[in-house]
């Protein structure tokens, strides 16, 4: 037992306190806001100040910072710290996954302040996830493992049918449930969650049954076409059972505050069961 | 047609000129060399100077630099530029993969000087690979897509059997062949290669038949247990058909120069068919 609350309990408390499951994706696109680390910082901090009160977390997408080199890494730290200062959880959207010895290095890079959780790619299997899990569990942090992503190409490999008749992504889901079994908090939520896209809502009920304790992180609402009203099965009556991420539909809205508040209301309405 | 030679032809020329298929993996582990970006730079540049003459490329593993934050990103640039100055190709071992709009950002981060190629994770499918492919092909650079990795956990998801009886990683291999079909150079080598581990050599002949034009990037020799004498089927008689990566067994050898030269000789001997 660690002295600090586990990630699942931290999320459950945050959803309750903030009455929101909305995750603000931070993808500072130079084609929209102009280039350079200073612009990325100013843009992200402004959106956090406007939309943050309707959200429970931010999700900086590391690619948009990495493209700026060393200055981008500093910008990532600064923007994430600003979000944490505003009471938001910070999910580093890294989608990393590498062999165990390298995984330890990535865990050192990403399982640390100001990040509360990190997204992982499971293709390399359990020994690639293990160093992240060790680091996260020791510090009350969380992981979100890609299970079924929101993009059209998800069909190419994630939906291939195995010899038992199930799609490959269901095998990922079973592994995720196993990896997370040792980290279920008092509120019934594990510190190992699952990324499940909103664009194929027909999978939500099945994946919820395979992963009863997993927090779902659901991208694909808004610009990618996913609709909040289809997400009820992801919650299964637990308001803290899923977090819903939106990026472009809030970041580049005429009024980010209203866009975030509308999504908050729509998700809250379907989350109560 | 681009004015510059494609990546496949660049590799074929480099293998011929340097009479080597050895890729020096750069994993500066603070537990071995001490911590900090300055130590990572000094360590990597020394090993490049010692072992580089027996190699054709270096493969910096980005995790070991990312863990150092902004200073690590600068160190990555500096070490990679030093390798390029020494006549070595530079393969950024990033294993990235994300939805298309984010993929464009990663492509901006990684498909550029001083890198000649980047490793990708295919789980998100064709639309995630497309922005990397566009950027790479426009500039004579290359991609290496994970097909069957070298770690024990590779079995967890990559070897699951599909309804047609083939393992999942063979479906990845077929996709990789498709993605690379438009970029085959005069020497018969595509600009989209495949990462295939040395630790499961029983797969090499089958994967070579599924990907006849792909350059194989083969990790897992040395510390992970793979043996050069098992790698003949990866080449299928083409000396530039595969590159063999070693990290710890050279980096931390008492004499990195001799360790690299011994691997160079062993691989060269099996590559001629």
User: Taking CB atoms and an 8 Å cutoff, what residues of chain A touch B127?
Assistant: 151-153
pLDDT at B175 over 60: yes
Position B157 confidence tier, pLDDT thresholds 50, 70, 90: very high
A157-203 pLDDT, tens per residue? 999 999 999 999 999 999 999 999 999 999 999 999 999 999 989 99
Q: What are phi and psi of A162, to 5 degrees?
A: -80, 170
| Residue in the structure block whose two tokens are 């060269």 | B268
Count of structural domains, chain B: 1
**Single pTM value for the model:** 0.97
**What's the pLDDT score for residue B237?**
87
Are A99 and B160 in contact (CB < 8 Å)?
no
Summarize the confidence of residues B159-176 as an average pLDDT.
98
Query: Which tens digit of pLDDT belongs to each residue from B94-145?
Result: 999 998 888 899 898 999 999 999 999 999 999 999 999 999 999 999 999 9
Residue A2 resides in a domain: no
Determine the pLDDT at residue B167: 98
Q: Does residue B213 lie within any of the structural domains?
A: yes
Would you say residue B39 has pLDDT above 60?
Answer: yes
Q: Which of B26, B60, B101 to mutate to test the interface with A (most CBs of A within 10 A)?
A: B101
Which pLDDT score, from 0 to 100, does residue B103 have?
87
- Residue B232: what pLDDT? 96
pLDDT at B141: 97
ipTM of the predicted assembly exceeds 0.90: yes
Q: How far apart are CA B37 and CA A73, in angstroms?
A: 14
Residue B154 has pLDDT above 60, yes or no: yes
Which residues does chain A have within 8 Å of residue B110's beta carbon, measured at their own beta carbons? 66
Chain A hits for B100, CB-CB cut-off 8 Å, are 151, 153
Predicted pLDDT of residue B2? 46
Residue A157 belongs to domain spanning: 7-271
**CATH assignment at residue B114:** 3.20.20.70
> Is the dihedral angle over the CA atoms B160, B165, B170, B172 positive or is it negative?
negative
Cβ contact (<8 Å) for B124 and A155? no
B129 neighbourhood in chain A, CB within 8 Å: 153
A20: left (phi over 0), alpha (psi -120 to 50) or beta: beta
* Residue B180 maps to a domain: yes
- pLDDT reported for residue A237: 87
Which residues of chain A have a pLDDT value below 50? 1-3
pLDDT at B55 over 90: yes
**pLDDT-derived band at B256, boundaries 50, 70, 90:** very high
- Please give, rounded to a whole number of angstroms, the shortest distance from the CA of A196 to a CA of chain B: 12
CA distance B202 to B164: 20
> Smallest Cβ distance to B100: which of A106, A151, A172?
A151
- What is the model's pLDDT at position B230? 95
Q: What Rg, from alpha-carbon coordinates, does chain A have?
A: 17
Residue at A85 is within a domain: yes
Interchain proximity B123–A157, CB inside 8 Å: yes
Let me know if residue A1 belongs to a domain: no
């Amino acid at each position: 037992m660690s002295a600090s609350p586990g990630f699942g309990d931290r999320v459950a408390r945050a959803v309750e306190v903030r009455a929101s499951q909305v995750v603000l994706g931070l993808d500072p696109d130079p084609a929209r806001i102009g280039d350079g680390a200073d612009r990325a910082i100013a843009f992200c901090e402004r959106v956090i100040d406007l939309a943050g009160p309707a959200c429970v977390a931010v999700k900086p997408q590391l690619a948009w910072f990495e493209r700026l080199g060393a200055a981008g890494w500093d910008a990532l730290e600064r923007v994430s710290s600003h979000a944490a200062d505003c009471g938001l959880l910070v999910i580093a959207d890294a989608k990393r996954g590498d062999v165990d010895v390298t995984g330890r290095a990535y865990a050192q890079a990403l399982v640390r302040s100001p990040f509360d959780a990190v997204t992982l790619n499971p293709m390399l299997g359990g020994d690639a996830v293990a160093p992240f899990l060790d680091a996260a569990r020791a510090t009350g942090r969380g992981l979100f493992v890609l299970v079924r992503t929101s993009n059209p190409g998800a069909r190419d490999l994630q939906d291939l049918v195995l010899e038992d008749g199930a799609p490959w992504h269901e095998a990922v889901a079973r592994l995720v449930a196993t990896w997370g079994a040792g980290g279920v908090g008092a509120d019934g939520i594990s510190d190992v969650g699952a990324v499940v896209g909103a664009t194929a809502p027909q999978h939500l009920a099945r994946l919820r049954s395979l992963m009863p304790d997993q927090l779902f992180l659901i991208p694909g609402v808004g610009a990618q076409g996913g609709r909040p009203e289809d997400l009820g099965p992801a919650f299964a009556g637990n308001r803290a059972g899923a977090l819903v991420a939106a990026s472009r539909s809030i970041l580049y809205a005429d009024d980010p505050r209203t866009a975030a508040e509308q999504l908050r209301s729509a998700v809250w309405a379907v989350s109560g069961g």
